[in-house]
Amino acid sequence: MSAGRICSRVVATATPHESVRAAGRRMAEYDVGTLVVLDVSGGRRPVGMVTDRDIAIRCVGAQRDPDQTRVSEIMTTPVQTVSAHTPIEDAMKRMANAATRRLVVLGDGETLVGVLSLDDVLDLFVAETAAIGRLLERQKPHFPA
């Protein structure tokens, strides 16, 4: 299974030059805790990520004005990425090595395809484990009472 098959393809985004307040409002609007920050040239090339934690610590905790602070000043860079064709096992290794719970998934031309989260991978493992459990249950010998 590849990262591109299980990643979330609906991704909320931000630009480096918008205010932290605008980014926070977008997080609230889409009920997400992460925005992928895209380059300003109009492409879909990710240049960073901003999380609700980044806003809390790097903006609010640092007593910065969210209307004057730009996303580029608090976003996490470099953005951790994998190809849409990357096997899940390799993506998990990448997450572990980068100590992150999210990877930006890229398609052809290094453009944004989606975001792969640790929760996406856990959902896959739970579904596969449940399927194995059902198979084992059906194969269990049944003895008459």
Give tens-digit pLDDT for 66-80: 999 999 999 999 999
CATH of the domain at 91: 3.10.580.10
Reply yes or no: is the peptide bond before residue 78 cis, omega within 30 of 0: yes
Give the pLDDT score at 137.
75
Give the pLDDT score at 17.
96
Residue 104 domain flag = yes
Residue 82 domain flag = yes
Residue matched to tokens 């997080």: 27
Residue 22 — pLDDT band, cuts 50, 70, 90? very high
Helical axes 88-98 vs 118-139, angle rounded to 10°: 140
For the cut 90, the answer to whether the pLDDT of residue 143 exceeds it is no
CB 11 within 8 A of CB 26: no
CB 2 within 8 A of CB 84: yes
Note down the domain range covering 48. Answer: 3-139
Residue 25 — pLDDT band, cuts 50, 70, 90? very high
Give the pLDDT score at 42.
66
Average pLDDT over residues 87-101: 94
Residue 145 domain flag = no
